[in-house]
Structure 1
Amino acid sequence: ERHLAEPVTAAGDVEELAGLLAAGLKADLERRGEGARLLELALFRVDGHVSRIAVGTSRPLRDPKLVRRLFRERLTGTQAAFDPGFGFDLVRLSARETAKLEIVQTDLAGERQDGEEDIAVFADRVKARLGEQAVLRPVAVESHIPERAAALLPVAAAPEGKAIAGGRPNAPSAERPIRLFARPEPVEVMAEIPEGPPAHFRWRRALHRVARSEGPERIAPEWWRNGETAATRDYFRVEDVDGRRYWLYRQGLYDAAEPTPRWFMHGIFA
């Protein structure tokens, strides 16, 4: 913390103080081999009121320049709520949450060859200015139902081991569409045989004639979640005569004991 002989009121002065305090905090974190995951800047006004500004990080951090930059973004984003009154005469920087910080080797020029590090810094700056929900990360979920197999979580809350980057852990071997609809859309399908792939289908009032198809890929329901009455899905990858590729599925089986199967559009390939 730092006591000030003259109270400060400008956001730029507060930002500079955050950088100075971060330099002192860095030495303490280095001794423990840790980095900060949650930093809090406490601003004590001369009238006794205390303002607290917190910033979170995607990765353990102790670089004073980056810490100062994060608080600059936070102060910019909360400018309307920043009320220095007659000034702050005491400023305190605390690491509310810490984690082990691994040392990363640099190249001969002293630069770190870590693209993910740059992304993490960018995400932290956006979060500091716009809030935690401004930057989301897709993560894998324990479900084989396509629309439940991934979820968007704030970057800081997303488990590293389950993050999706160009694929996902335990991804199915079958090809998946680039765009997956959150809610499958009903389609009208005509098939040559009941259990076969579509011969043509109508989706969003447009008729598509199928040139080729692959499937079915059967995905069983999650009976423990939807009950034993949940329907089985048979997925088909189809390509129409114009070269557009789609991911359709038939919900239900042709069985006298089950309702008539229905068809849905679930995604679009490139």
Structure 2
Amino acid sequence: MTKTAKPKWAPATLSEYDGIRFLHLDSIWVQGAMRIRKPQQLELEYIQRMMAWMLWRDSAELNEGHAVQLGLGAAAITRFCHKVLRMRTTAIELNPTVISACRAWFQLPENDRLLTVVNADAAEWVANAEPQQAQVLNVDLYDHEAASPVLDDEAFYAGCRALLADGGLMTVNLFGRNASFARSAVRIARVFGSDQVWSLAPTKEGNTVVVAARGVRVPERDELERRAANIEALYGGYGLPARKWLRLVRPLPLSIVEQLHHQQPAAES
């Protein structure tokens, strides 16, 4: 009897409930979601928080530059950056069935002048990418069981920082039963510098979003409040509660800063 070869990729499947379409990878874990009648709306709370980088950008430059997404999911961030912000947008996804599913079920357009979706390994792509090409980098990399980030070491985060232009911003989703916020935050801060890393309080599902910057000057509180109000005025209807983000943003805990004090190398310019 000939044995059937095990598929190399976890197949993408979908479910629907209450007007929302969900992406799965051969498991019960939700890999992404889209409200069918409002496809550009950011449905999942942690995906909304992945857009918190907007607080650290000047309002006049909010949607300028190149946005890179590592891990396509249901293409929510990719669609938003491409269709709503109208930024040049690049998405890197290892699993070809996810790309096919997003194009068939989640309204991901074909590549065009502003959009490039690449079927590639994120670690390899980052290592070989042109440096300082991105103003925004969103990292959401999980296997089909969503146990922990699949790329979570200093070498990877160093590549991410190298990808960012001066003033660029990265958001990272930290989630899963084997994930550790402290462990990941230390690795990120060693690369970016402890004064360039923040986090948002966890969602009720347990997702913690980390924001890391390359040489960003933190605005005064009143300027952040003006930016948050501007984001909500422009994009609140898409699911961006920016003033709530301000209440959730935290600097790195003192325990992590103390770990870094004697061992953190200075971030390269």
Shorter-normalised TM range: under 0.3
Higher relative contact order at CA 8 Å, sep ≥6: structure 1 or structure 2?
A: 2
Q: Report which of the two has the higher share of helix.
A: 2
Q: Report which of the two has the higher share of strand.
A: 1
Q: TM (normalized to structure 1)? A: 0.21
Q: TM (normalized to structure 2)? A: 0.21
Q: Return the index of the structure with the highest Cα Rg.
A: 1
